Structure 1
């Protein structure tokens, strides 16, 4: 008697085969089809609405059925494209059938929020006609305009100014809250908005609780009980649980500039000084005198603090976050460290490399350890309609690419604008340019900077 083998696999089915009328029944193994899932992109995690591609590897002649979390996906092709908006863990299963035998293979995928990784550009908006908005650029370069509105159906506050991400929550501060400069009500979610950092779904909004603030411009967060807000009066501590706002004594000269957070402390520019604020304290902990006008305070990758100052000479200094001592200071004689008219730092850093532009189109690079400065590019030579730089450049903390926001001009010319991405790993190159997505951009923010 000869035995037939249908395929090679891990699962064995047993069938009875009769060799002749006179022989006893003999059991012949019939092997189930071998099956495996090939994760084409080799990713076990994916953002909402992004697509993963799976292929099935099975014996010739097999038929397939795909399922997600135990539910039939109504796909019988050898290729399955998985996309969902549902967060969390999902199980992708394919079942191959051949000659009445079935074998299944499974892969587990984690889906995270669409906005967990990427780049935000926060827009002030035209204060008399519109509220603030949020533009998002995914790691793949896909742009989502008005991201907050699309997630909630409601708008950010009037003249959005700054954002901060902490413990999977995004905090967005606006100057006017739900009113514009002349007191006309807007349909928006208020002065301070707290949303899920992955989905942008609103979790809380505060307006009347912050009514004593005078044109708030910046926010930095240590925890839910210590949300530090800068306004024309100085720095205040807001407890989002008790809704109590407390002025921080000694902080009245805090500058209209992004604050840095490192190791449980907030560092804020204040004229020639850098204020240090710690959790649960109603008075500034320290005032570091830089002896020159501070134009930028930025967290360094090692936890210490970069400080830029303008004057004769201008300097980039590195400050120890523990005792506030000077580690090293480099004089800058090429380019400008000015923060300009905006509200973002005059410097931006990735590792030991810092960039600055003086709020103009000419970008310079400074390598701190080598104390070298070089001119990189004038964006006007590569970017059409780069008439006005609106707030300063920002360097991506992972890729090292430099982002620049420009617009053609004021009036209706602000509608003609660019988010330009420069790669300086070799010759200066314009890696990407996203046109007409901003409305008076208050700053560029990378989710990776808040890890």
Structure 2
């Protein structure tokens, strides 16, 4: 081979290879569509309490030179890869994210529910330590699992529940309002159900001795007291004349259908026509009330009888193998509650002067369910106040207890969460203080 003659051909070949290589190196990178990284970690639904923040930071692959946008209920509010959401109004929010590159775009939607300040949990109404301080309101928050105390005075710093000689015994939710009812000269205070801001009150004064409240419609309700039951104007909180036909101390009340069921120390269950407050029927012997089951029946108890009152006001008396004591000597709401998932009633076997340790579950038609307790409290614990409440949101039976005994035992508080079918303890919250819990109040 003639090397000199071959040189131009070799250089020509190398040049062609070099040009081909340059063309390859200069080719633009392919444009890839952005995509969500770690899709299994993407949380499409979430919730947050009012004025708390959520940080949204979706992980996106192929996001080089991306343009971002965030919209909240259709309004564009962000252009970064991260978005901080803080709502000042409760409700439902749709937050949409978009990342756009030359290769395409990717979209994500978040559904965020914003709870009001005291919406995502339940209240415990506390009597307070008689003579040392007034009653208080505590709040158990579902998302944190923490108990928050004294929330009424925290939300209403210029208000109080004085006098210290009074006890806060009842809390009733009606039409997005919470009615707080005190005995022994205390006030009846109306707050917003979800933020605890005071809206109105019947002032404290000697002679007040309230027990409970029941709402009838937007304009009227009833308030019970040591000496009877009274109409209440819900717009002005003006108290009307005592309802005739009911005597003695009156405690719990409940409305079902066209009737109001009233628990009287003298007369037992007194059933009123909700339209005009006239007495329709009386059922003697009841000392504990009230709850309703999913079949529309109202339940009370007393002596050795559990009383089922059906929508036609017919009464069925079920024999219980022990005495059921009321609380007229130191009144608190009745230790009785019902499931919203199954047709079942729960009630505590309280002593005549102290809380009990056994809780029973009665399934209508199954008398065998009354032969043994559904659950026994842990050793050394006793029910205080109403003590039991079925929570529909959790589908659990809630029980408040103190330590058995006197003195400092009363500052040892436990809140138990029980499975309403198996009686297994799902959770226990322990907290200290002389609260003396009266009743648990769940949002409806």
The interval holding the TM-score normalised by the smaller chain is 0.7 to 0.9
Alignment of 1:48-447 (within 5 A): 48=50, 54=56, 56=58, 58-62=60-64, 67=70, 69=72, 70=75, 76-77=81-82, 82=85, 84-98=87-101, 105-140=108-143, 141-158=145-162, 159-176=167-184, 191-207=187-203, 214-253=208-247, 255-271=249-265, 272-279=267-274, 281=276, 283-290=277-284, 292-310=285-303, 314-321=304-311, 323-326=312-315, 328-333=316-321, 335-340=322-327, 341-350=330-339, 351-359=342-350, 360-371=356-367, 372-373=369-370, 374-381=372-379, 386=381, 389-398=384-393, 399-407=395-403, 409-426=405-422, 428-429=424-425, 431-436=427-432, 439-447=435-443
Deviation at 1:84, TM superposition (A): 4.2
Does the 8 Å CA contact 1:389/1:407 hold for their aligned counterparts?
A: no
Instruction: Indicate the SS of the match to 2:435.
Output: coil
CA contact (8 A) 1:225 1:239 kept: yes
CA distance in 2, matches of 1:308, 1:349: 13
Residue 243 of structure 2: SS of its match in structure 1? Answer: coil
Cα distance in 1 between the residues matched to 2:349 and 2:129: 24
Give the SS at the match of 1:414. helix
Looking at structure 2, the residues matched to 75 and 411 of structure 1 have their Cα atoms a distance apart, in angstroms, of 59
**Residues 366 and 387 (structure 1), Cα distance of their counterparts in 2 relative to 1, 3 Å cut:** closer
Separation in 2, partners of 1:437, 1:446: 22
Return 5+ residue gaps in structure 2 as ranges.
1-22, 351-355
Aligned to 1:17: none
Contact in 1 for aligned 2:291/2:299 (Cα 8 Å):
yes
Decide whether the 8 Å contact of 1:168 with 1:197 is kept in 2. Answer: yes
How far the C-alpha of 1:59 sits from its partner, in A, is 3.7
Q: SS of the residue aligned with 1:149?
A: helix
Deviations 1:154-201 (A, max 9, x none): 4552421211111111111122566xxxxxxxxxxxx12222112112
SS in structure 1 at match of 2:153 = helix
Instruction: Name the CA distance, whole Å, in 1 between partners of 2:271 and 2:429.
Output: 37
Q: CA deviation at 1:147?
A: 2.1
Distance 1:406 1:106 in 2: 47
What TM-score do you get using the length of structure 2 for normalisation?
0.76
Q: TM-score, normalised by structure 1?
A: 0.75
State the distance in 1 between where 2:270 and 2:423 align: 39
SS class of match (1:258): strand
- Matches of 1:263 and 1:46 in 2, distance apart? 36
In 2 relative to 1, CA 306–73 (structure 1 residues): closer, same or farther, beyond 3 Å? same
Q: Tell me: CA distance 1:228–1:64, structure 2 relative to 1, closer, same or farther (3 Å).
A: farther
What does residue 187 of structure 1 align with? Answer: none
Identify if the C-alpha distance between structure 1 residues 278 and 64 changes in structure 2 by more than 3 Å, giving closer, same or farther: farther
Kindly tell me the number of residue pairs found equivalent between the two proteins: 397
For 1:372-421, what per-residue CA distance to the aligned partner results, in whole angstroms no more than 9, with x for missing partners? 2222333242xxx5267344422334513241332455445432222233
Residues 290 and 337 of structure 2 are in contact (CA less than 8 Å); yes or no, is this contact kept in structure 1?
Answer: no
Cα 1:53/1:434, change in 2 over 3 Å: farther
TM superposition shift of 1:234:
0.4
- Deviation of 1:241 after TM superposition, in Å, equals 1.8
**Alignment partner, residue 12 of structure 1:** none
Partner Cα distance (2:76, 2:158) in 1: 34
Q: Is the 8 A contact 2:185 2:206 kept in 1?
A: no
Q: Secondary structure, in 3 states, of the residue corresponding to 1:301?
A: coil
Whose Rg is larger? 2
Q: What's the Cα RMSD here?
A: 3.5
Partner of 2:7: none
SS at match of 2:294: coil
Over 3 Å counting, the alpha-carbon distance change for 1:122 and 1:242 in structure 2 is closer
SS of residue matched to 1:217: strand
More helix by share: 2
